[in-house]
A and B are shown apart, each in its own frame.
Chain A
Amino acid sequence: MHETMVAESLLVTISTEAAKQNAKPVIARISCGTLNAINDEVLRFAFEAITKGTLCEGMKLEIEHKPMQGQCKNCNEIFKIDLSCLKCSKCGSEDFKLLPDAPLLLEEIEFQTEQ
């Protein structure tokens, strides 16, 4: 349920950007890492609920999940972490370093062009 706070922060950031652009935001593109534990459905629901009656009402959220990555200490391969099978995808070594998880980012906003 921490998605509510994420939605609130999104609303603030998008509203600030919309004021600068003086335009209506239509789509927000977000990216996040695995450890941010973002559930798309919950985030969309929270965002829809808190944007009612604001300039952001009706906006679409596009959410990209970036995989957790590890770097093998044996062969140096950088690989996607599969939580059900924690080993290097190339050489099978279990000796790897967890790479920093992708941050929760507002990548891009699409605005409506004035008519």
Chain B
Amino acid sequence: MYKVNVGKRILSANEEYALKNSQLLTEQKKLCLNMISSPGSGKTTILARTISDLKDKIKIGVIEGDIQTEIDAERIRATKAPAIQINTDGACHLSAAQVNSALENLPINDLDLIFIENVGNLVCPSAFELGETGKIAVLSVAEGDDKPAKYPSIFSKSKAMLINKIDLLGAGVQIDFDIERVKTDARKLNKGIEIFPISAKTGEGMADWCDWLRKEVKKLRA
């Protein structure tokens, strides 16, 4: 037996595509946000609402990742925004190569902001860089307030966190969700994380989130 030193990053093939995506987005000064959450946290509803709230201000395109179906891309197209659907056929996360070909099919010259809606999963997507400008963690109140503590990877890597479905907290529904605990736990691992409590259904809190997006788009153009 003999040993050979390799010292190679195992996901380097993915990282090469991520670098290509990042170079393209940086050159073109496009903001690209990778939305990561459990299934059912409301990512698509948030995106549809964000697109319509910002329709006169910034142009948004979406890359939709799902195991199967075009359902999400169709919901986005109903808002008139361009959307590319990627079906991963069983894979639990998007890869940078898939995003690379989706970017080729989006009219990115006409866009200010590209959202990537990753496959609903709080673990795997956080391990794959896509070349995005930043990650956005989405957590809905029905999932419980212990998630930042239990899933440190995504919350420690995200630029911002959306706490969705806050309308349920005041609706007389029995949900044990301490929003302050979520904020404290997330900030323990990620001091600079921006946190937006929202309801994509009622629109509560959406203005702060949208203002932040406009600021981030402006920052890139400066």
A75 interface residue per 8 A CB criterion: no
Q: Given A35-B127, A37-B153, A30 and B4 touching (CB < 8 A)? A: no
A2–B88 alpha-carbon span in the complex (Å): 12
Closest to B149 in A: A83
Contact of B10 among A9, A34, A97, A113 (CB under 8 A): A9
Contact of A37 among B7, B95, B123 (CB under 8 A): B123
In the assembled complex, how far is the CB of residue A99 from the closest CB belonging to chain B, in whole angstroms?
11
A110 interface residue per 8 A CB criterion: yes
**Is the beta-carbon distance between B5 and A35 smaller than 8 angstroms?**
no
Interface size, B (range): 20 to 34
**Is the beta-carbon distance between B13 and A12 smaller than 8 angstroms?**
yes
How many chain A residues touch B (CB < 8 A): the figure is 34
A12–B5 alpha-carbon span in the complex (Å): 16
Q: Given A13-B10, A106-B8, A2 and B127 touching (CB < 8 A)? A: yes
**Is the beta-carbon distance between B6 and A13 smaller than 8 angstroms?**
yes
Chain B residues proximal to chain A, CB less than 8 Å: 1-14, 91-93, 95, 123-124, 126-128, 149, 152-153, 156-157, 188-191
30 contacts between A and B (CB under 8 A): A1-B91, A2-B92, A2-B124, A4-B91, A5-B11, A5-B14, A5-B128, A9-B11, A13-B6, A13-B10, A34-B153, A35-B126, A35-B152, A37-B123, A37-B124, A37-B127, A68-B152, A83-B152, A86-B188, A86-B189, A98-B189, A98-B190, A105-B7, A105-B10, A108-B5, A109-B4, A110-B1, A111-B2, A112-B1, A113-B1
- Enumerate the 3 nearest inter-chain pairs by beta-carbon distance, A residue then B residue, closest first: A2-B124, A35-B153, A104-B10
